[in-house]
């Protein structure tokens, strides 16, 4: 259970579905509830597919390009840390490459928004992908892999639940409430990123004999 909660908490914090709520509401404001639920489902499904592919195939991509897991941990830590700072400073949407003009443009093609921009890059971004690849490289048994898959599935279920109730969340919490929660999550995300950078640095110093 400890492994499950560790992966779940880290992945949920990095993905931060609450940060996607305003974008989801903007893209689906003229849709019926049935259509919004469908978009929420397919967004969560796409995120699940992306995360599972990253978890199981990512290490082979690293091997192909000759990238060490320690380098990935360092790069992932930097990405995760910058995402956390974006949450703290209220620039998460801009950090993900989303602008009001692009949101408006996507409204006209809302049948595709479940994949992009919602699943990619808003939810399943480089931070979550590098996080899962790192976890996969450190797991020694099929039991641990199974627990990780269950944690990924649980996070995606939470994504679906948050998106499906996004309009209610906006009404109840408002923009200020969502920002407050996002800033708290941002602090956690920064801590996760720094921890990855610290571990990568420690391994590097050990390899060079310092």
pLDDT tens for each residue of 132-169: 998 998 888 999 999 999 999 999 999 999 999 998 98
As given in the structure block, the two tokens for residue 27 are: 């893209």
| pTM of structure | 0.80
What confidence tens digit (pLDDT) does each residue in 18-39 have?
888 888 888 888 889 999 999 9
Using the CB atoms, write b or e for 45-57: b if 16+ within 10 Å: bbbbebbbebbee
pLDDT value of position 171: 85
Average pLDDT of the chain to the nearest whole number:
84
Helix (H, G, I), strand (E, B) or coil at 201: helix
Residue whose entry in the numeric block shows the structure tokens 């990095």: 14
Phi-psi region of 209 (alpha: psi -120 to 50; beta: other; left: phi over 0): left
pLDDT value of position 142: 94
pLDDT value of position 88: 79
pLDDT value of position 95: 56
DSSP classification of residue 97: T
What confidence tens digit (pLDDT) does each residue in 35-81 have?
999 999 999 999 999 999 999 998 888 888 888 888 888 888 888 88
Q: How many CB atoms lie within 10 A of CB 122?
A: 24
The mean pLDDT of 106-121, rounded to a whole number, is 69
Separation CA 118–CA 114 (nearest Å): 5
Quickly state the pLDDT bin for 7 (edges 50, 70, 90): very high
pLDDT value of position 110: 47
pLDDT value of position 36: 93
The residue among 85 and 151 whose pLDDT is bigger is 151
The mean pLDDT of 89-117, rounded to a whole number, is 60
Percent of the chain, pLDDT > 70?
A: 88
Residue whose entry in the numeric block shows the structure tokens 């808003």: 122
Q: Is the pLDDT of residue 103 over 90?
A: no
């Amino acid at each position: 259970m400890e492994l499950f909660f560790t992966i779940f908490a880290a992945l949920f914090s990095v993905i931060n579905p609450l940060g996607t709520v305003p974008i989801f509401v903007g893209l689906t404001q003229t849709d019926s509830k049935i259509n919004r639920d469908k978009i929420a489902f397919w967004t969560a499904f796409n995120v699940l597919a992306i995360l599972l592919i990253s978890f199981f195939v990512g290490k082979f991509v690293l091997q192909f390009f000759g990238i060490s897991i320690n380098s990935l941990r360092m790069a992932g830590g930097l990405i995760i840390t910058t995402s956390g700072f974006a949450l703290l400073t209220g620039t998460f949407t801009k950090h993900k490459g989303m602008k009001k003009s692009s949101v408006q443009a996507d409204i006209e093609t809302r049948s595709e928004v479940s994949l992009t921009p919602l699943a990619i890059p808003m939810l399943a971004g480089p931070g979550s992908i590098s996080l899962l690849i790192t976890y996969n490289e450190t797991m020694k048994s099929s039991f641990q892999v199974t627990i990780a898959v269950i944690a990924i599935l649980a996070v995606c279920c939470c994504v679906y639940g948050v998106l499906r109730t996004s309009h209610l969340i906006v009404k109840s919490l408002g923009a200020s409430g969502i920002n407050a929660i996002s800033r708290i999550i941002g602090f956690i995300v920064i801590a996760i990123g720094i921890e990855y950078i610290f571990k990568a640095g420690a391994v590097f110093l050990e390899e060079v004999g310092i």
